[in-house]
Chain A
Amino acid sequence: MRSLAVSRLSAATRLWLLAALAVAAMVAFMTLGLRGNLTFALELRAVRLLALVQVGVAVAVSTVVFQTVTANRVLTPSIMGFDALYVFGQMLLVLLLGAAGFAALDPRLKFAGEAVVMVAMALLLFVPLLRRRFDIGLLLLAGVVLGVLFRSLASLVARLIDPNEFAVAQGMSFANFNTVRPDLLAIGLVVTVAAAAIVWRQRHLLDVLSLGADSAIGLGVDWSRVLIGLLLLVALLVAVSTALVGPVTFLGLLVAAIAERVVDSRRHFLLLPAAVLTAVVVLVGGQTVLQHGLGQATTLGVVIEFVGGLVFLGMLLAAGRR
């Protein structure tokens, strides 16, 4: 009992350290290199900070939930092409409405439409895939193929539209942490907070799901219903983060892997906050360092994809060796 108390404490302590780091990153982001009109600068930064934190929460929560439901630690919604699905929906809209019509749409309406299209497609594709008894190899293969498929479809549509429209569309298909979309902040906030709250309430259920479908059903979980509900939340969260900053493939993988190392547990009451805090540290801290330390030498998206990609490869190799 005592050793458990100690290890709990140390996991909790590590979580608190992570929280302190996240707060420090946010303070640095808000205050470093402030010049000129203070209110204007602070307001600008606050909006960007809010967007980055939202993205962090959305990516972290969606990745952890997805990994638990699929019983794997290598795949994330992004690697399986959820965000490409969202971009594909956007491209389709540009194609159907033309660049002018697309730009004239209310961004919130646009977001709602794209989110609905994406959630519908995600459920259509993934519920049958996950409901069956699947082995991890098949899932990995299907995931990577689907990811490539959605990305190719998006770029196919991009080739079909005329160059002016392409410029509009292209702006959406790269991750960009410097210019976030303030017009989507409010709706994103509602979706993110609601989804994160639901997931937090279900943290014990998620623990049970990590035992696998059979054990979960044996413990009274309505597997199909829970699966659909959770995938819906994952799709919505990915829609929020993609709408705000564009697709980031390896961010989720990176934060979930780091979070699991930090708390050394798959229990969700530890893992969820750890993943969220890690995402905040990576996004807000990384953005601050790049802006002030390295003078915008590169963009955060590139760094995250590079490091995350390496982690992905490392995990694949480690899984292969086992």
Chain B
Amino acid sequence: MIEIENVSLRLQDTRILHDISLTLPKGGLTALVGPNGAGKSSLLSLVARLQPLQSGRIVVDGLPVDATPGRQLAKRLAILRQDPAVAARLRVRELVGFGRFPHGRGRLDDRDRALIEAALQQFGLQDLADRFLDTLSGGQRQRALVAMAFCQGTDYMLLDEPLNNLDMQFARQLMRDLRKAVEEERRTVIVVLHDINHAAVYADRIVAMKAGRVVADGPPSAVLRTEVLAEVFGYPMQVVEIDGAPLVLHHR
């Protein structure tokens, strides 16, 4: 379980997050949605202790993130940021292998190698495994980074806009993989999404943020309603229902 209590964040004179409290039980796929600058990425990076906590408390499975040794936390929680800068002269297989670092400090055993191959397979990277990262397209690199996060083998995965740069096929595939990880491996996935219709189909719960506050929180059917969406995104949009799932016509 991830418990976020009264977390605020201030950068220079701007308040990024206002007193956020949120409990994310173990299991399930939670989508964080909201307009640019809502504080979604900041919230994720605080949970993943990439930024120091200024006020409030964040606890993952009983471990306070600001007081737990990094390595212990890295075995429970993986984070994928938006566009992380990655050293160029690295091969895809090497990058994916770094996901095992918290477990063996860089020494790979047979189990690690099997997990790496499985992750390469799962994200369609077998043919790219020996390529250098700087020879890949943005979408291919993104898949390699997601594979690395998967390979870390943690109960909790935090992904910041993982669909960036992915084409439709791989975006759908990634969402299905995340769903599978939730259902078959009992993982807990928290993902920042801009495509709200992916959230509609794959998420168990949607947390909508705006200007540093949580403005709506609930199952897709409760959050993806015209009046809620208008409050979050600032304009009215039609919502229809197809096969029992809401479909937001946000582009019209």
Q: Which A residues are closer than 8 A to B by beta carbons?
A: 3-4, 7, 71, 203-205, 207-208, 210-215, 217-222, 260, 264-267
Check A3 against B130 for contact (C-beta < 8 Å): yes
The answer for the CA separation of A222 and B91 in the assembled complex, in Å, is: 25
Which of these, A3, A7, A218, A260, contacts B74 with CB under 8 Å? Answer: A218
In addition to A211-B98, A215-B81, A218-B81, 11 A-B residue pairs with Cβ atoms within 8 Å of each other are A7-B130, A207-B106, A211-B87, A212-B84, A217-B50, A218-B78, A219-B74, A219-B101, A220-B70, A220-B73, A267-B94
Contact A265:B86 (CB < 8 A) given known A7-B130, A208-B101, A219-B98:
no
Residues of A within 8 A of B168 (CB): none
B102 at the interface (CB under 8 A from A): yes
Residues of A within 8 A of B94 (CB): 207, 267
Residues of B within 8 A of A203 (CB): 106
Check B105 against A205 for contact (C-beta < 8 Å): yes
Closest to A205 in B: B106
Check A217 against B75 for contact (C-beta < 8 Å): no
Check B98 against A207 for contact (C-beta < 8 Å): yes
Check B69 against A222 for contact (C-beta < 8 Å): yes
Q: Which B residues are closer than 8 A to A by beta carbons?
A: 45, 48-50, 69-75, 78-81, 84-91, 93-95, 98-99, 101-102, 105-107, 129-130, 152
Check A208 against B85 for contact (C-beta < 8 Å): no
The answer for the CA separation of A176 and B71 in the assembled complex, in Å, is: 45
The answer for the CA separation of A137 and B246 in the assembled complex, in Å, is: 46
B85 vs chain A, min Cβ distance (A):
5
Contact A212:B152 (CB < 8 A) given known A220-B101, A221-B70, A222-B70:
no
B53 vs chain A, min Cβ distance (A):
13
A139 vs chain B, min Cβ distance (A):
13
Residues of B within 8 A of A4 (CB): 91, 93, 129-130
A2 vs chain B, min Cβ distance (A):
9
Residues of A within 8 A of B106 (CB): 203-205, 207-208
Which of these, B71, B85, B87, B90, contacts A220 with CB under 8 Å? Answer: B71
A268 vs chain B, min Cβ distance (A):
10
Closest to A68 in B: B87
Contact A212:B86 (CB < 8 A) given known A4-B129, A217-B49, A218-B50:
yes
Residues of B within 8 A of A265 (CB): 89-90
Check A214 against B84 for contact (C-beta < 8 Å): yes
The answer for the CA separation of A203 and B78 in the assembled complex, in Å, is: 22
Residues of A within 8 A of B98 (CB): 207-208, 211, 215, 219
The answer for the CA separation of A99 and B98 in the assembled complex, in Å, is: 54
The answer for the CA separation of A265 and B134 in the assembled complex, in Å, is: 12
Closest to A271 in B: B89
The answer for the CA separation of A205 and B78 in the assembled complex, in Å, is: 17
Check A266 against B105 for contact (C-beta < 8 Å): no
A276 vs chain B, min Cβ distance (A):
18
The answer for the CA separation of A3 and B107 in the assembled complex, in Å, is: 21
The answer for the CA separation of A211 and B101 in the assembled complex, in Å, is: 12
